[in-house]
Structure 1
């Protein structure tokens, strides 16, 4: 059975995790939690596998918001990898844990998934979305980063899902004057 609408499948998961603007980007009406009887379903169909991955991604994000870098590393497979903007690749959960030492009170990493797709075999898939990071510099001034991410998930032999690959790229800087056409 295919789930007909994201709002029907996971209203508490994604609607709680997504800002209203993000809900609108994929056609969700944040004022409604489910269609009323007789309402035509106009949203794209999501497979149960995609909903499962979106749920996992939401749980991953919530765990990291509460537990920081240690929680982040705990979601990776032993042979997982991170590819972060401007940094060397980090291979293996042990090395990821050694690099992810931030605490939620000094750095807050949050994200929300925008899409998921399960592979045909049902044991691998991916999610992607938008992330935001918040911290303070040495003078106590706020530092914000944001960008896109993709997470590749794989099902382990014990049936649990782990992160095989997590990659991110910062949002490009604002266009500013660099991209304006000169006045004639």
Structure 2
């Protein structure tokens, strides 16, 4: 498994969010017991909590881009780090950075097991 394949997975995750909605993408790309850390809120623990939270969310769009990735020597864990933009009604409302920890599933697919981020005052350049 190459680092590029993990970056491509994160990009496909974002592509799905843009095409089908953030909630649907987070549910599809999460491991069953994943944790989502959100600024100013309690973490979401597990896919059932994602389904409940995202069924109530509306009006905002989250778009992100991975800037860096690494995969453990064991080839079963990796991370992506990147930047995001939050928009509402086509207007940018905020910027931030994120990190996703990914775990290879028995079928070979990557699913995130931990995702979180924080806001930044402006877009972030490559590290």
The 3 A distance-change label for structure 1 pair 59 and 110 is same
Match of 1:164 in 2: 113
Greater strand content? 2
Match of 2:44 in 1: 90
TM-score (norm. length: structure 2): 0.86
The answer (yes or no) to whether the contact 1:63–1:72 under 8 Å persists in 2 is no
**5+ residue gaps, structure 2:** 123-127
Match of 1:148 in 2: 97
Q: Distance in 2 between matches of 1:67 and 1:123?
A: 28
Quote how far apart the aligned CAs of 1:52 are. 1.0
Following superposition, which runs of at least 4 residues in structure 1 exceed 3 angstroms of deviation? none
**5+ residue gaps, structure 1:** 1-47, 174-184
Quote how far apart the aligned CAs of 1:83 are. 0.5
Q: Secondary structure at the match of 1:70?
A: helix
Whichever of the two has the greater Rg, that structure is 1
Tell me: higher relative CO, structure 1 or 2? Use CA pairs within 8 A at least 6 residues apart: 2
Equivalent pairs counted in the alignment come to 120
2:57 corresponds to 1:57: no
Match of 1:71 in 2: 25
Q: Secondary structure at the match of 2:2?
A: helix
Match of 2:67 in 1: 114
TM-score (norm. length: structure 1): 0.61
For the aligned residues, what is the CA RMSD? 1.8
Quote how far apart the aligned CAs of 1:71 are. 2.1
